[in-house]
Amino acid sequence: MDIIKRNNIRVTGNPNAEQTLVFSHGFGLDQGCFSKVTPAFENNYKIVLYDNVGAGKADIQAFSPKRYEFISGYVTDVADILQALENQHVTFIGHSVSGITGLLASIHYPELIQKLILLGSSPRYLDDPKNGYTGGFNHHTLNSFFDAMENNYHAWASGFSKLAMRNENRPELAAAFAQSLQTIRPDIAILVAKAIFYLDHREELHKVTVPTLVVQTANDIAVPPVVSEYLEAHIPNSRRTKVQTEGHFPQISAPKEVIAAIQSFL
């Protein structure tokens, strides 16, 4: 019960289904970001949704800077959740950083996850020119990024939400994301953002043993197309698909395309 409360876990869909879909949101969001996707699967799958600690309605008392200074804390949370629910035949659908936490959980706890779907995920956001890797950010950009967060978090959230969401003809999407960002305690947001943007799990990719789908969007400020190509090239038994929408949040801006991609993979 503590884990259910900690992560505000919600189980919906078909309770008798043999297969389970676990949806995990990215930074600045909560489980509600999948609200336009999950109904398509409710008849045939058990569906698990949860909030990452520090976001949504997860137990704020469970947040520990020591535990979540690196994303390994969230990897352990994924394992806790899956072990507590004892679901079989799990497909883990992780958006953004949660794709990588699911990927790492599949490596360290191989019995828990049977398939992976990485939705706008990256193994490293920083460029690594020495090794010919493009992540999309350099140190100067990230320093400016975190300075802006620390100087005026709410102003940063308003500006960043527009860049990340894109879809300028639908400003309500960026406004909703800005509101979601602003519900997070600034100190938590900054610590988690640093854990995300400074991660590097390229060396883990070859260890993945489950079928994996990499989903790429256009004009994604956080994950350029070359990153999804890198994932496909370095994860065994993986394939990549593109959804025709801009921005970092295809489950919000193009849910029908995301549904079709998931259905095709399943």
Q: Do 121 and 218 contact (CB within 8 A), yes or no?
A: no
Angle CA 178–250–161, to nearest 5: 20
Q: Do 16 and 86 contact (CB within 8 A), yes or no?
A: no
DSSP state of 133: B
**Residues β-bridged to residue 185:** none
Helix-, strand-, coil-residue percentages of the chain, each rounded to 5: 50, 20, 35
* Active-site position among 25, 51, 96, 253: 96
Active site residue 96: yes
Tokens of 132: 């010919």
**Residues β-bridged to residue 242:** 216
**CA atoms within 13 Å, Cβ hemisphere of 254:** 23
Q: For residues 249 and 252, what is the distance between their CA atoms, to the nearest angstrom?
A: 6
Active site residue 248: yes
Q: For residues 131 and 145, what is the distance between their CA atoms, to the nearest angstrom?
A: 24
**Residues β-bridged to residue 90:** 20
* Active-site position among 161, 220, 238, 253: 220
- CA 10 to chain centroid, in Å, comes to 17
* Active-site position among 25, 95, 201, 248: 248
DSSP state of 136: S
Q: How far is CA 255 from CA 36, 234, 249, in A?
A: 6, 27, 9
Q: Which residues are catalytic?
A: 96, 220, 248
